[in-house]
Amino acid sequence: MFALIVLLSVLLPACGGVLAGGRDAVTIYSGRGSSLIGPLLEEFSASTGIPIDVRYGGSAELALLIAQEGDRTPADVFYSQSPGAVGFLAGEGRLAPLDPGVLELVDQRFRDDGGLWVGVSGRQRVLVYNTELVSELPTSVFEVVEEPFAGRVAVAPSNGSFQDFITAMRVTHGDEVAARFLQALATTGAPSYANNNAIVEAVARGEVPMGLVNHYYLHRFLAEDPDLPAANHRFAGDDIGSLLIASSVSVLEGTDEPEGARRLVEYLLDAEAQQYFAEETFEYPLALGTSPVGDVPPLDTLEVPAFDIDRLGGGLERTLELIRDSGLDG
């Protein structure tokens, strides 16, 4: 693990925005890509006059880097695609408590019990499939490694939501079950892609029949081309493959920019930002009183497994180990 962290500390500066040396800017380590949230962060800076520096990368990799940097980290805010990554930092003692008033803007199931992070937008795990190639669909995610689905379902092992899904599987079914599932994906030749966007693109053009992704990616593609031969399939409501998870934001312990960091967290939960998530990314806005748009089903209509996403934080390193051991990420 130490070698991995050292390697990450060398490679990650090339992942995204350039860090400015001054401490008058709010420095954000973002596990969410620039195409998704870059415009929103730029609007925050323009509307508040607070300069920002953003470093983009994978949520897990950035969390490990923050832990390695310790008190020397330039990060003021960690914006994670994955509650597992932010939960890992909470366990490392790297996060500062958020204002109670901010926490109360979001339903209790989408915030940390200790007040260290708050959900900003939500997504459900689904199976995206090509409607011209697929006539039979699995009822459980565990069926995707069995006939007739084995080797036909694409995955993105480095994606934070996939890692959260595997952590949730470990919590609910045990490490052995999760390890067997990952190894079965690898041995049956499950196609591996860099991210969910690539999976949906591949499914839409018929390169692969199906893929495990978050719900909102397909909605973004359909907004551009409603005739794409693709649809989302939801597993049975109690199946871990239907996991509902949240992108979350947190403030680093010891930040030199506490006021700017606080204002950024509040901004991400205000009406304008929440509407951005609903209309531009097709995610579930999580601030109370907000709703998704278009064909995205309302949050309160979803059948999802009863799972406390606060439990995702403690297992990140073990999940990454299982994924590496399976061979999926190599």
Pairing outcome for strands 118-130 and 210-214? antiparallel
> Domain for residue 62, yes or no?
yes
Q: Does 268 have pLDDT greater than 60? A: yes
- Euclidean distance between CA atoms 83 and 38, whole angstroms: 20
User: What pLDDT is recorded for position 1?
Assistant: 37
- Work out the mean pLDDT of the chain and round it to a whole number: 89
Q: How many domains does the chain have?
A: 2
301, amino acid identity = T
Amino acid 164 reads: D
Residues 183 and 106 in one domain: no
Peptide bond before residue 148 is cis, with ω within 30 degrees of 0: yes
Average pLDDT over residues 143-161: 95
Say if 314 falls within a structural domain: no
- Answer whether residue 216 shows pLDDT above 80: yes
Domain CATH for 233? 3.40.190.10
Residue 53, in any domain of the structure: yes
- Do residue 113 and residue 129 come from a single domain? no
How confident is the model over 168-198, as pLDDT tens digits? 999 999 999 999 999 999 999 999 999 999 9
pLDDT at 16 over 60: no
Confidence of residue 3 (pLDDT cuts 50, 70, 90): very low
User: What pLDDT score was predicted for residue 311?
Assistant: 78
Q: Could you tell me if residue 312 is inside a domain?
A: no
In a domain, 292, yes or no: yes
The confidence score (pLDDT) of residue 10 equals: 34
Query: For position 87, what pLDDT does the model report?
Result: 87
**Percentage above 90 pLDDT, the chain:** 75
The model's confidence at residue 81, banded by pLDDT at 50, 70 and 90, is confident
Residue 315 falls inside a structural domain = no
113 and 129 in a common domain: no
Q: Looking at the structure, do residues 43 and 145 belong to the same domain, yes or no? A: no
244-263, pLDDT tens digit by residue? 999 999 999 999 999 999 99
Both 100 and 12 in one domain: the answer is: yes
Structure token digits, residue 92: 């490392």
Domain extent at residue 181: 123-243+321-326
| 113 and 261 co-located in one domain | yes
Residues 228 and 252 in one domain: no
Q: Does residue 252 belong to any structural domain of this protein?
A: yes
Is-above-0.75 flag for pTM?
yes
Is 125:243 a contact under the CB 8 Å cutoff? yes
Q: Is residue 309 domain-resident?
A: no
Same domain assignment for residues 109 and 155: no
Whether residues 150 and 225 fall in one domain? yes
Q: What is the pLDDT of residues 306-315, one digit of tens each?
A: 888 777 776 7
Q: Let me know whether 72 and 179 are in one domain.
A: no
Residue 17 has pLDDT above 70, yes or no: no
Predicted pLDDT at 4? 36
Element (H, E) at 47: helix 34-48
The mean per-residue pLDDT over the stretch 101-109 comes to 93
Residues 271 and 209 both lie in one domain: no
Helix (H, G, I), strand (E, B) or coil at 112: coil
Please answer whether residues 146 and 63 qualify as being in contact, where contact means their C-beta atoms are separated by less than 8 angstroms: no
Region 119-147 average pLDDT:
97
Instruction: Kindly state whether residues 128 and 194 are assigned to the same domain.
Output: yes
Which among 117, 38, 37, 114 has a CA at the least distance from the CA of 77? 117
